[in-house]
Homo-oligomer: A and B are copies of this chain.
Amino acid sequence: MNATLEAVMAQTAAQVGEALTTLLPNKPLTEAKLFDAMRWGCLAGGKRLRPLLVLQSSSLFGVSQTCALRTAAAIEFVHCYSLIHDDLPAMDDSDLRRGRPTVHKQFDDATAILAGDGLLTFAFEVLADPETHEDPNVRCNLVTALAKAAGPEGMVGGQQLDLIGETVPLDEKEVARLQRLKTGALISFSAEAGAILGRASPPQRLALRAYAHDLGLAFQIADDLLDAEGDEAVTGKPVGADAAAGKQTFVSILGLERARAQASLLADQAAKHLDIFEDRADVLRQLARYVVERRA
């Protein structure tokens, strides 16, 4: 990985981890187990890809660090809630995430459901707070965009489509739509968030959306490739899990060769959308390359 990008990613992960810790409720109440479970589900590390997109897109428009970090935290809360609920026995039934027990294994199923609910609700509280932006129109725009990206016609709809795909075969178009809903919508909003916070012009906002759209798709194809041919010791996940589960993925549909070519093409295309930002968007350009070349 490019040295600049590596440094930026490490710095972002540290800053975001700190912001999440500061924001999350943490009082010694009888129900504190809920707060512990919320922290467990958020503070296990991870790439913090979505916060990176928020911070980098915000830096294009001179948005203050506080505004960008609060928005990044809200999006990461939503991402983490979705993982907690996805891992539940009724859903993917996963015992481990990032090498440690998932929330329902560490606590219990009921607490994991509530911790996810709590994180989702709390994300909106953070966004609507005047500390996130002085302009209430901007805050409402953030709430609307997050709700659309994460709601029944966004991420939650994608998760339902994913469930349905376990029993009904989906074609290439539906697999692409599944990905766009399940992970693409939140990734797009992350890149768009800087433009919303910075009250950017519509062409700038659209450029970031287009970038994030291609980046999200490239990211998912790369994920499917890692699942099919990755190094278990590096990815930390068993190889071939999707195929074993009978899941339709970009690899099962396109084959390895075409999937690899498609991911690379999308990464180039994503970077292209950033031309209007000139060299100020270099980190975002490097990120597009990283996303398809990463090994975990």
A interface residues (Cβ-Cβ under 8 A, vs B): 25, 27, 29-31, 33-35, 38, 81, 85, 88, 90-91, 108-111, 113-114, 116-122, 124-125, 127-130, 136-137, 139-140, 143-144, 146-148, 150-153, 156-161, 163-164, 168, 170, 174
Contact = CB atoms under 8 A, between A and B. Distances in A.
21 contacts: A29-B161, A30-B161, A30-B164, A30-B168, A31-B157, A31-B158, A31-B161, A81-B117, A85-B113, A90-B90, A91-B113, A111-B163, A114-B160, A118-B156, A120-B120, A122-B152, A124-B146, A125-B151, A136-B136, A136-B140, A139-B143
A13 to B, nearest CB: 24
A144 B128 contact: yes
A129 B25 CA distance: 28
Contacts of A125: 143-144, 147-148, 151
A35 B121 CA distance: 20
Given A85-B113, A110-B90, A129 B157 contact: no
Given A30-B170, A117-B120, A140-B140, 4 more contacts: A30-B168, A90-B109, A91-B110, A111-B160
Contacts of A137: 136
